Amino acid sequence: MEADIDRILISDKELATRVKQMATEIAQAYAAPEGLVLVTILSGSIIFLADLIRQLPIKMKIGLITVSSYPGSSTESQGAKLLSDLNVDITGRDVLIIDDILDTGNTLRFVRAKLEEKNPRSVKTAVLLRKPSKAPKDVTADFVGFQIDDVFVIGYGLDFDDHYRNLPHIGVLKTEVYESAAS
């Protein structure tokens, strides 16, 4: 796996430090968090969620929603598609969407619209990574872990063709790996 990485972009220590800071920021933002539901977009956010919630000293529930935007060995967003709908009731609840990365913004826009149909009290978003170049102005994140350049990253939950999620750091995938998968 490590041989397929061009370079480590964010180390496991940097991830741990920043995720802890994000948990503090989130806890401070929810003064009365009794109704908080963390809606997690599967599968890329699983490790971020697991680390974040163990640093989050507030009462909350977890909801799961599965959306596909980069099917198979693609590194270009193919548009968001719902694979499985939310498994908890969010009516009247404060919702925090948890996503791994904000890139084109298609996924967050799609999920937010789906959730707003269910009449939550509020909807905010937390993303571990943000690629600044492509996301339109109307798609924003309230909590951002790291701003990164427009490179395809893997590890810490993020995949290429469903591999590399178990890398403990965020790495840049070698161009030849996805070029050879595409050919």
- The set of catalytic residues is 103
Q: Considering the complex, what minimum distance in angstroms separates the CB of residue 131 from ligand XMP?
A: 7
Report whether 108 contacts 78 (CB < 8 A): no
Q: Considering the complex, what minimum distance in angstroms separates the CB of residue 109 from ligand XMP?
A: 8
- When binding is defined by CB under 6 A, the residue of 103, 115, 123, 130 that contacts ligand XMP is 103
- Reduce the DSSP state of residue 66 to 3 states and report it: strand
Based on the shown chain and the rule CB under 6 A, indicate whether residue 69 belongs to the binding site for ligand XMP.
yes
Q: Considering the complex, what minimum distance in angstroms separates the CB of residue 35 from ligand XMP?
A: 25
Based on the shown chain and the rule CB under 6 A, indicate whether residue 144 belongs to the binding site for ligand XMP.
no
* Among the listed residues 167, 165, 173, 170, the one whose alpha carbon sits nearest the alpha carbon of residue 46: 165
What DSSP designation does 132 have? T
- Which residues of this chain interact with ligand XMP, rule CB under 6 A? 41, 44, 69-70, 77, 80, 99-107, 152-154, 158-160
